[in-house]
Every structure is written in structure tokens, then in C-alpha cells.
Amino acid sequence: AAGVIQSPRHLIKEKRETATLKCYPIPRHDTVYWYQQGPGQDPQFLISFYEKMQSDKGSIPDRFSAQQFSDYHSELNMSSLELGDSALYFCASSRDSDTQYFGPGTRLTVL
Amino acid sequence: QKEVEQNSGPLSVPEGAIASLNCTYSDRGSQSFFWYRQYSGKSPELIMFIYSNGDKEDGRFTAQLNKASQYVSLLIRDSQPSDSATYLCASRMDSSYKLIFGSGTRLLVRP
């Protein structure tokens, strides 16, 4: 079965640079979620989109923004990167607000 | 205090034994509960979800929910070394899209 696709899988950036993470949901899933997981931490919810509209917002820094496009893929844009932004970033998708399935994640390292 | 609490472990059981993982939650508005398995550096993988009081069985896994006690558990029968991972308990309210995770319990199944 098709799964959530995330790209890139690994990303290395310098402080104050920008990064864009992409997420392609499971076919026919209309809801996308972004989570951040720091080392040794549990996943923290950042933001979600349902039918291209923001549906919920968590602890997402103002330096981050996200959107969902007409083909339901989503992008997380991160600016003015800080060392503390180094983490695994997971995208999950669901059909409506049903069970969430996670992608493989993007490992972001900020130097 | 976290909204979802789990014992960090490690919980060590011999191969073939029953592993019992527990989770408590503080918000009575939580309606849905999920168990995810996460191997180190990998994404959370859905094991089971439960919405109603009582037991729900799927193969070697049984989820139990007691809303009066605000308690969720996961039993793994005939534990295998490949079950060794961190098990994340998550809750979700009907009014929200986001999952709230516990810190996870590390399970070690000894051959």
C-alpha cells in the first residue's frame, strides 16, 4: 500500500538559513499533519491542514509556515533556522480526521 | 505534568511473555487513543486505536480503555525480540485534529 512520502529525507543547513520540507499524503487522504520530534523527545504537533485550509495549530514557531496545495501535498517552510530546530520532522496524513499515518520523516540538522 | 503519561521504562520481558504497557491521560475531553511503535530514528507506526471503553484485540495486540479511570493499556502476547521498540501512547479530542503523545515506553524483549 502507498505510504506518506517526505522529501528530502536528510537536510543539513547553517544557522539563519531557510529550509523547505515536502510531504505527499497517502492517495485519497485529505488531511496533513506536521510533527517535530527532538532527540529523546516525543513528537510535538506543529500544524495541520484539511482540504487545503489550516485545521489546527500547535507549538509552531512564527519563523515556520506551512500550506497545503491543490494536489493535497504540503510544504513546511522554516526560516532563520536555529540550532534548536535540529530534529526529525514527520508528516502524517489521514482521511478526514481519522487515524493518522506517519511518513518516514526528514532529519534536519542545523549547524 | 504531561497530558499523556507513560512510564519511560525500559520494560524488559522474556521472549514469549506478555508485555503490558500502560498510559494515563489527564484531559477527560480526550475521546480517541492510539498506540504507535517507534524504532530508533524511524517514524511512528500505528499499532492500534481504541475509542470505546473495554478491550479491542488485533492479532497479538490487545488495547484496553477505561475512561472512568483515564487509563489506556496495550498488551502484547507472545512477545518477540522484533517487538523491542518505544511504544507511544497518544490521545486526541474530537474537537481537535492533533495527537498528544506521551513520552513513550521502551520495551526490550530478551531472546
Cβ–Cβ below 8 Å for A56 and B103 = no
Residue A25 neighbours by CB under 8 Å, 6+ apart: A4, A31, A32, A72, A73, A74, A91, A93
Q: Give pLDDT, residue B94.
A: 79
Per-residue model confidence (pLDDT) at position B97: 82
Query: What does the pLDDT look like over B30-61, one tens digit per residue?
Result: 889 999 999 999 999 999 999 999 999 999 99
CA angle at A79 for the pair A77 and A80, rounded to the nearest 5°: 165
Residue A97 has pLDDT above 80, yes or no: no
pLDDT for the residue numbered B1? 75
Size of interface A-B (CB pairs under 8 A): 49
User: pLDDT tens for residues B54-106?
Assistant: 999 999 999 999 999 999 999 999 999 999 999 999 999 878 889 999 999 99
The residues near A13 (Cβ < 8 Å, ≥ 6 apart) are A19, A81, A108, A109, A110, A111
C-alpha cell at A8: 528530502
Interface test with A, best of B8, B43, B101 (most A CBs within 10 A): B43
Query: Closest to B97 (Cβ–Cβ): which among A41, A97, A104?
Result: A97
